[in-house]
Chain A
Amino acid sequence: MTRSLALALNALGLYAIALVLLVAFAAQLLLHELPCPLCLLQRIQFAMLAVGPILNVRFGLRPSHYAVSLLTAATGAAFAARQILLHVMPGDPGYGSALLGYHYYTWAFIGFAVAIIALAIMLLFNSQFRDDGKPQPVGALAGTAVGLVIALTALNVISTLLECGFGACPDNPVAYELLKRGP
């Protein structure tokens, strides 16, 4: 695998993360489903998955950058597995609505598992790490992807502040704390 192909795949990975964050926002804003604390932690892990590809695009391809994303994906999978186990008992309706038959935390677990497999496959190709001494310019595709992911994560700062306010986030949020009108 050439360096340019690996960098293009890293940029595509950033777009995939941006898509996940966009879908989560769409569910929150269009379906009025506010994320619970555990759901927010999983969303944070999806955003943190982007740190590895950003480092690869900015500083060049290194195994340690992939390791950053691998650690994040394993942590996110553990968080999602915990939420699956909370609702795995027969008769439990689960938290929130289902998308294509699975709840969001189940999709999150699948997403983190796919990320782990994709990162492991990327690490198989040693040729991408051979430095030919030439600086790799950052293309518009990668630059746009980085900007998109940073912007979506920054939007989550605002949305979480509106949802949780300045106190502890409720376990089952139904309204934005900072948008509630006083008595």
Chain B
Amino acid sequence: MEFTALFLAVTIVMVAAWWGTRTVALALFAATLLACIATYLHHASDALQLSF
């Protein structure tokens, strides 16, 4: 469900960038990027089996 919401958010950012104001588009972009990073951190919980 969160990925559907993120795709919807990106669509809204694009629509805002094309038809809305620049400030609103940039604010929505920042919020969406942070939401993507938060979703990634929530899912990336498995330890990597690596040794350097």
Seen from chain A, the residues whose Cβ lies within 8 Å of a Cβ on chain B are 37-38, 40-41, 44-45, 47-48, 50-51, 54-55, 58-59, 64, 68, 71-72, 75, 79, 82, 85-86, 88-89, 146, 149-150, 153-154, 156-157, 160-161, 164-169
Task: Give Cα A51–Cα B10 distance, bound, in whole angstroms.
Answer: 9
Residues of A within 8 A of B1 (CB): 164-169
Q: Which of B15, B40, B48 contacts A79 (CB 8 A)?
A: B40
Seen from chain B, the residues whose Cβ lies within 8 Å of a Cβ on chain A are 1-4, 6-8, 10-11, 13-15, 17-18, 22, 25-26, 29, 32-33, 36-37, 39-40, 43-44, 46, 48-50
Cβ A54 vs Cβ B14 within 8 A: yes
Known: A86-B46, A86-B48. A47 touches B36 (CB 8 A): no
Main secondary structure on A side of the interface with B:
helix
Residues of B within 8 A of A167 (CB): 1
Cβ B7 vs Cβ A89 within 8 A: no
Q: Which of A79, A153, A165 contacts B10 (CB 8 A)?
A: A153
Known: A37-B3, A153-B10. A72 touches B33 (CB 8 A): yes
Known: A54-B17, A150-B14, A165-B1. A41 touches B36 (CB 8 A): yes
Residues of B within 8 A of A41 (CB): 3, 6, 36, 39-40, 43
